[in-house]
Amino acid sequence: MICHNMFKTILGFENPFNLLILFGIKNIILEKKETWKFPKAFWVANTVELFERAAYYGVFIVITLYLSRILGFGDIEAATIAGVFQAMLYFLPTFAGAYADKIGFRKSLMLAFLLLTLGYAGMGILPTMFESSGLVEYGEKTVFNGLDKSAAKYAIIPVMVLIILGGSFIKSVITGTVAKETTKENRARGYSIFYAMVNIGAFSGKTIVKPLREAMGNEGLIWISYFSAGATLLGLIVVFLFFKSKHRAGEGKKLSEILDGLFRVLLKLQANFTNNNNYRFLDGAAPNVCNDAKICTSFGR
């Protein structure tokens, strides 16, 4: 009775159990707020992911047109190069991710965006060099003066290799950053934000293509490369200035340790693919492999 009167007098509660209910509601609210708290590195990584996706889809959606109408490749050649380009972007991240663990995510992101900037800029500069040498004339229509029959057009291959290498680091490091910078409570929301950034970036990259082509014709296919180079350069600057992570586990590993870890990942991947309970599509598009604790790793975007 004394305790009851004390709660009633001091806190204004007729029933002391109302206080317990209030505390319970408060804890639920605080827990919900907590799931929205992410480290700075998480937000930086997702921001530059948006830039990278915009750059990639701006170029990739017209890559076969670029190869055929700008450089003079035949339809089969253009499709083959574009197919290999896409395949390598999904094959190499496993190996790039292993090396990223050794040198650290910040250095990996800076290397990735540097390679991407050089690669996309190269896709813009190379046609300009061909035009200055008289091999081709660009405008609304392209007039080939020998470029379509010249081996010089294959100079685009090493340029595209730069984009492949940069992209392979991005795919592994960004998803790895999301995993490292989230907790069990907010990991699902963290990946939801990540995929939202992917979709926003992809949409913006694809959207910029049409007005450029309509305004400039085939020459717009060249300027799209400069748009992508600018986006990845901005990503490089953002990473350099703002990306700092407290999670540095795995940095400085020996090559033998990296190869051993890679081998274990491949074995685990094979085991997970044979177990339907561990293989799923988190967003309906990107395949993910999940361990026994139901923590999933993305293998595509």
User: pLDDT (tens digit, 9 = 90+) per residue, 34-52?
Assistant: 567 889 999 999 999 999 9
d(CA 214, CA 203): 18
pLDDT digit string, tens, across residues 93-133 = 888 888 888 888 999 999 999 999 999 999 999 999 999 99
Determine the pLDDT at residue 279. Answer: 44
The 3-state DSSP class for residue 137 equals: strand
Please indicate, yes or no, if residue 15 is contained in any of the structural domains: no
Contacts for 272 with CB less than 8 Å, ≥ 6 apart: 278, 279, 289, 290, 291
Range of the structural domain that residue 176 is part of? 38-252
Please indicate, yes or no, if residue 21 is contained in any of the structural domains: no
Whole-model pTM: value is 0.77
Please indicate, yes or no, if residue 121 is contained in any of the structural domains: yes
**Does 78 lie in the same domain as 138?**
yes
pLDDT digit string, tens, across residues 17-28 = 454 444 444 444
How far from each other are the two terminal CA atoms of the chain, in whole angstroms? 63
Long-range contacts of 128-133 (CB under 8 A, 24+ apart): 128/222, 130/71
**Does 232 lie in the same domain as 202?**
yes
Determine the pLDDT at residue 10. Answer: 45
Segment 271-289 shows an average pLDDT of 50
Determine the pLDDT at residue 33. Answer: 55
**Does 195 lie in the same domain as 54?**
yes
CATH code of the domain covering residue 199: 1.20.1250.20
pLDDT digit string, tens, across residues 138-174 = 988 899 999 999 999 999 999 999 999 999 999 889 9
Please indicate, yes or no, if residue 29 is contained in any of the structural domains: no
Determine the pLDDT at residue 241. Answer: 95
User: To 5 degrees, how large is the angle CA 171–CA 173–CA 177?
Assistant: 125
Work out whether strand 287-290 and strand 296-298 pair parallel, antiparallel, or are unpaired. Answer: antiparallel
Number of domains in the chain: 2
Q: Is the pLDDT of residue 11 over 50?
A: no
Determine the pLDDT at residue 12. Answer: 47
Q: Is the pLDDT of residue 285 over 50?
A: no
**60 burial type by CB count under 10 A (0-12 exposed, 13-18 middle, 19+ buried):** buried
Residue with tokens 């592994």: 172
**Does 261 lie in the same domain as 231?**
no
Contacts for 57 with CB less than 8 Å, ≥ 6 apart: 201, 202, 205, 206
Please indicate, yes or no, if residue 275 is contained in any of the structural domains: yes
8-state DSSP, 289: E
Residue with tokens 């595509």: 300
